[in-house]
Amino acid sequence: MSATIEKQELAIGSEAPDFTLPGIDGINYSLHTLIDSKQAVAVIFSCNHCPYVQAYEERLIALQHEFVAQNVALVCVNSNDDTNYPQDSYSEMIIRAQREEFNFLYLRDHTQQVARTFGAKYTPEAYLFDHEGILRYNGRIDDNWQDPALVKEQTLRDAIRAVLSDQPVASPVTHAIGCTIKWKQG
C-alpha cells in the first residue's frame, strides 16, 4: 500500500523554493546560493537504481561539460526512500558518482521534503531556473531515453540555451518519463 503524499506543483514563473542538502562531497548546498552565483541552475530529480536515470547519466555529464563555461549548474537530487531501495543510500550515491565520474552536484534529500515542495514525480525530472531564480522549464531531458542517437528534441539543452539568451523557452513544460520517486511508507 502506498503512502498518501501531498505534493504541490511548482508552476512555470514560480520562484525557486530554497533548500540546503548534503552533497556527496560532504558539503551542504543551498539552491539560492547556487542561483545567486550562476546564470542558470537545473535541478534534476535523480537516483542510482532507475534505468531511465542510468541511461541519461552520460548525457548529463556532457550537458554539464557543455555549459560549465556559461556558468550553468546541473544539480541532481536523490529523494528516493533508501530503506526499501538501499542502492539509493547516501553511501551508494558516493560510490556511483565516483565510478561514473559525475561532474555535476549530486545531493541527498533524505526527508523527501524537497521533492514534495517541487511536486516532483519522476526520476529523472528537470526544473530549470534562470539567474533570478524563476522556474523557466519543467520536464524531460530529451525525447529518447533509450538511444541518444535517435534524440530529435534536446528539450533541457534547448531550454538552457533559451534562458542564457534571455529568450522564452519554446516548450516550458514537457512530460518527464522515468521511474516514479520511491516515497517512504507511513
Averaged pLDDT, groups of 10, the chain, 186 residues long: 50 97 98 97 98 98 97 98 97 98 98 97 98 98 96 98 97 96 91
Q: What is the pLDDT of residue 8?
A: 59
The span from the CA of 59 to the CA of 62, in Å, is: 5
Cell of 77: 537530487
- Domain boundaries, given as residue ranges, for the chain: 20-180
Q: Which of 82, 64, 80 is nearest to 72 (CA)?
A: 64
Is residue 169 within 8 Å of residue 71, measured between CB atoms?
no
Q: What is the pLDDT of residue 9?
A: 80
Q: What is the pLDDT of residue 162?
A: 98
The span from the CA of 151 to the CA of 124, in Å, is: 16
Task: Please indicate, yes or no, whether the overall pTM of this predicted structure exceeds 0.75.
Answer: yes
Q: Which CATH number fits domain 20-180: 3.40.30.10, 3.40.50.720, 3.40.605.10, 3.40.50.1010?
A: 3.40.30.10
The span from the CA of 97 to the CA of 24, in Å, is: 8
Q: What is the pLDDT of residue 6?
A: 43
